[in-house]
Amino acid sequence: MRDWLFYLVIAGVVAFAASSWWGVRRLRAKHTRSAVWEQTHSPDLGRQKVAVVLNPIKARSAEARALIEAACAEAGWEPPGIFETTAEDPGFSQARAAVASGADVVLACGGDGTVRVVAEVLAGTDTAMGLIPLGTGNLLARNVHLEVNDLQGNVAAALFGHQRFIDTARMTVENVRTGESAEHTFLVIAGMGMDAEVVSDTNDGLKKAVGWLAYTEAGVRHLPGRRKKVSIALDDQPEQSRKIRSVLFANCGLIPGGIDFIPQAMIDDGMLDVVVMSPRSAIGWLAMYTKIVLKHKKDLPVMTYYRSGKITIRCSEPMPTQIDGDPSGEATTVTVQVAPGSLLVRVKDGAGGD
């Protein structure tokens, strides 16, 4: 039985990798999607004060720091302020200190968690955020057309590139059984249900070895399962009752592997794209997978799309949640709301769209 499951997982990983490669080719060939609408503009600041919120345990963090310091020195600017994250503080106090130092741009140098924390502090301010992706997902960087493996190019974009405003979103999770509640900012995709189960149950060792493909192994293990009854309210409209496996809230939709998971999701349209998934069997999952990878426009009964500025979901039993690929606790009530044009982000010149 274990051998059968092992081979099934391997086959799933190979199939996902092959389809992802095909998705990348289709995306590059057709140019049908722009992750952003607004054109970029030059900051025109001349001399800049730079701060860096750095996760020191990430691979290439030392190299990134050296490149940033060298670029600032070559430009004739003062040395950047370096604020390192810790296990106790993933970057909140460091980002606040960076803003208090008078920085014109704060570089988020780490994985998706570091980027999300820095964005939460900078949202609603005039301080720009530069992206130096060092993680495995690098979700926001992909959605603003940065080459995630081009460290030198990303440093150049963060310091000398153009900039643009994008939307952020805030998710409030409440658990009536424990009395706990929390609020989280996210930038790409948050979710409730099976997707959060997969995020929580992904093997860390496998993730370090194969990157984002590790989620496939956890996904295969969590395919069996029952649907759960929830109520969904969009923009304070009357609630509707649904049985679901997962609900996603997308600010933008490009994920690793070249998969354009939610093609209609735009990062600066002031709306969230909500995907309600309710497959009952493996056939339903296969139909959804085929639709996503091949970009079929035909509607599926097990996959419903909505657009809304605010979403509230209630359920009788706690369900796991996730924000940009990180677990965010169990909830019986989830409220998600978009904050239009709330974050200024540095991007490559002319990266306003295809």
pLDDT in tens, 55-106: 999 999 999 999 999 999 999 999 999 999 999 999 999 999 999 999 999 9
Reported as a single tens digit per residue, the pLDDT across 287-330 is: 877 777 767 776 777 789 999 999 999 999 999 999 998 999 99
Tell me which residues of the chain have a pLDDT lower than 50.
1-7, 9-11, 13-14, 16-36, 352-354
pLDDT at 236: 80
pLDDT at 246: 93
Q: Check residue 300 and report its DSSP letter.
A: B
Token pair recorded at residue 286: 């296969």
51 and 118 in contact (C-beta within 8 Å)?
A: no
pLDDT at 290: 78
Token pair recorded at residue 43: 């900051």
Q: Collapsing DSSP states into helix, strand and coil, what is residue 170?
A: strand
Rounded to whole angstroms, how far apart are CA atoms 314 and 304? 18
pLDDT at 131: 98
Rounded to whole angstroms, how far apart are CA atoms 251 and 272? 5
Threshold 0.85, pTM exceeds: no
Q: Which residues pair with 140 in a beta bridge?
A: none
| Residue linked to tokens 């509230």 | 312
Q: Describe the crossing of helices 214-221 and 194-201 by its angle, rounded to 10 degrees.
A: 120
The helix (H) or strand (E) run that includes residue 90 is none
The separation between the first and the last C-alpha atoms of the chain, rounded to the nearest angstrom, is 48
Q: Which residues pair with 125 in a beta bridge?
A: none
Rounded to whole angstroms, how far apart are CA atoms 147 and 142? 7
pLDDT at 12: 52
Residues 6+ apart with CB under 8 A from 219: 12, 198
pLDDT at 101: 97
Token pair recorded at residue 67: 């490149």
Cα three-residue angle 303-309-313, rounded to 5 degrees: 55
Rounded to whole angstroms, how far apart are CA atoms 313 and 231? 6
Rounded to whole angstroms, how far apart are CA atoms 21 and 24? 5
Q: Which of these, 58, 61, 53, lies nearest to 95 by C-alpha position?
A: 53
| Residue linked to tokens 């370090």 | 208
Residues 6+ apart with CB under 8 A from 158: 68, 105, 107, 130, 131, 132, 346
Q: Return the amino acid letter for 47.
A: R
Q: Return the amino acid letter for 9.
A: V
Token pair recorded at residue 77: 């600017």
